[in-house]
A and B are shown apart, each in its own frame.
Chain A
Amino acid sequence: MLVNHDVTNMMENIPDEKFKIIGIDKDAEAPSRPRIGYWRDAWRRLRENKVAFVALIILLILIFFIIFGPAISGYEFEQIDSDAINQGPSAEHWFGTDDLGRDLFARVWQAGRVSIIIGILGAVIASVVGSIYGGIAAYFGGAVDDIMMRIVEVLLSIPYLIIVILISVVTDSKSLGTMLVALTLTGWCGIARLVRGQMLQLKSQEYVLAANALGVAPIKIILKHMIPNTIGMIIVAITFDIPGYIFSEAFLSYVGLGIQPPSTSWGALASAAQQNFMFYPYQLLFPALMIALTMLSFTLLGDGLRDALDPKLRK
């Protein structure tokens, strides 16, 4: 005790100038490049991926036209013109007109609004619900997890389109809201499974164990480790799901259970055009092209995002 005290005293009495650094380079530990965060890194990788980047640009162009297209066309999408029925594409009507003389350029972009909104909202709602559900199941584990996953299993074993059709018939309202409910009613199950699997895997990782051992609060582990490591996967899942919802909506509208006139969607446009296809093929061409382009772009972008956001998949 006494010796220790003496030593401390002695140390305190030595002036600072007596100490000097010998042979250690202060800059040795300094990073030579600025640190790149997760998102900046992902963005850099996405930009390097030409296919995904082109897909992103196509999507941005589509979204630009969906927002401004109806205004650019100079026509109202529901404006009927009996003098210009079933006209082919021309300088006046860029995409031609339909059987009521409505300008298809305006209609295609107006329809795109509904289709894209359903695609994005549907995927986002399903992902949020699924993530929360899967997260809860993985967090509690045990019996809770068992029961929750059984429910998902039962829901997943009901054919998707049948549920969607049934809900549309039962509610008998063809508004955007009900369609979203019908489409997302079981749509979240896939993501719930995905998130639960990922969370369970993360839970058994060494760094989570280390954090636990160090006494980090559970909420901090969730915020710092679980969510950041899952969010990339969720974003990718959303991107892949969007075309699915657009497709389902197109199918529903095609069957007559979707969006009703005067409002319209790509599926509804294609459905109307399909009946005239033998005589006016261009009427189907444009909505079908937009559906295909959107689906393709989202799929390719999803591929790129997966590579960019998931460090484990990188080679």
Chain B
Amino acid sequence: MAKFIIKRIGYMLITLFIVITATFFLMHSIPGDPLAHMARNLPEQTRENYYEKYGLDKSTPEQYVIFMKNLLTKGEMGESLRYPGREVTDTLMTNSAVSAKPGGMALVVGLIIGILLGIVAALNKNKWPDYIVMFIAILGITVPVFVLASVLQYIFSVKLMVLPTTGWGSWKNIVLPIIVLSFGTIATYARYVKSNMLDVMGQDYILTAEAKGVSRFNVVKKHVLKNAFLPCMTLLVGQVSGIFTGSFVVEKIFGIPGLGFYYINSINDRDYTMIIGTTIFAAALFVFVQLIVDIAYSLMDPRIRVK
């Protein structure tokens, strides 16, 4: 087990290193330099000062070494180019905390409803509850989030006037984003839980349990659910790290000042340090959650360890 964890952590570090390096060099390979558009009209001396401040007067490999040193020793990723004085890491922390609120709630809501719907559908295969659940699942997979968000805004804000369209602060602002964000999770999990449960229900050990006379409730609780949930854990990776990076589109539509919102903004602003910082942050989070899920998975399912 210890060997497995060490191996996983090793892979994680390699992946992170590759992502950071690739992101850095990719961003620095863009023709022109990050300050070009704003530095054009500045006097010579001011411009040089700017370049010096951001270390842009040095060669790319030198900048890379400095960047890595700052990241590893101080956990810093420089200052925003667009908003001087704003530390990238500070911005990341504040924004991801904002994103985590609707994201986390949506994940919990989505998981509970999705898993319940999946169980209901599997136990009532080819009856009306199954059809309703599958209809919801298909809607969740085929309707783009921005359409769902717009429709909900139209219904609840424009027609019924009970909830605000955009903004941040009151609990009312968070209701629609949670619905929109959880819809995808509900659809994904309902489908996945259902098909996993059906798979498990076709296994020989379920037949054995039934033949022994174990009650249906106990068969489902002790054998089906336990085995059907395990593979669902892998889906959590994307969902959990998605909490913090936030759904770009949803945050943009509802005006939530989260990480996704600022990421899109920094892309439009060509704020290079912010883009590099957010990319690394998102990737690191993704890889880290993956590690946790991998370890948890192998703890719960002995079959993985044997392989």
Contact = CB atoms under 8 A, between A and B. Distances in A.
Interface of A: 150, 153-154, 157-159, 161-162, 165-167, 169-170, 172, 243, 247, 250-251, 254-257, 270-271, 274, 277-278, 281, 284, 288, 291-292, 295-296, 299
Given A158-B19, A169-B275, A270-B146, A255 B264 contact: yes
B285 to A, nearest CB: 9
A295 B142 contact: yes
Given A159-B282, A166-B23, A288 B138 contact: no
A284 B268 contact: no
Interface string B276-307: 00010011001100100000000000000000
Contacts of A284: 147, 150
A162 B238 CA distance: 12
15 contacts: A154-B14, A157-B15, A157-B283, A158-B283, A161-B248, A166-B275, A169-B27, A247-B144, A254-B249, A256-B267, A274-B146, A288-B144, A292-B142, A295-B142, A299-B138
A137 B67 CA distance: 36
B162 interface: no
Contacts of A288: 143-144, 147
Contact of A274 (B12, B150, B283): B150
A281 B19 contact: no
Nearest to A285: B147
B29 A170 contact: yes
Most chain A beta-carbon contacts within 10 A, residue among B143, B150, B158, B275: B150
Contacts of B36: none
A153 B15 CA distance: 9
A170 B26 contact: yes
Interface string B224-259: 000000000000001001000100110011000000
B188 to A, nearest CB: 13
B154 A292 contact: no
Contact of A159 (B14, B30, B241): B241
B168 interface: no
B249 A158 contact: no
Nearest to B267: A169
Contact of B15 (A158, A250, A292): A158
B131 interface: no
B207 interface: no
Contacts of A150: 11
B154 A278 contact: yes
B286 to A, nearest CB: 5
B113 interface: no
A40 B161 CA distance: 57
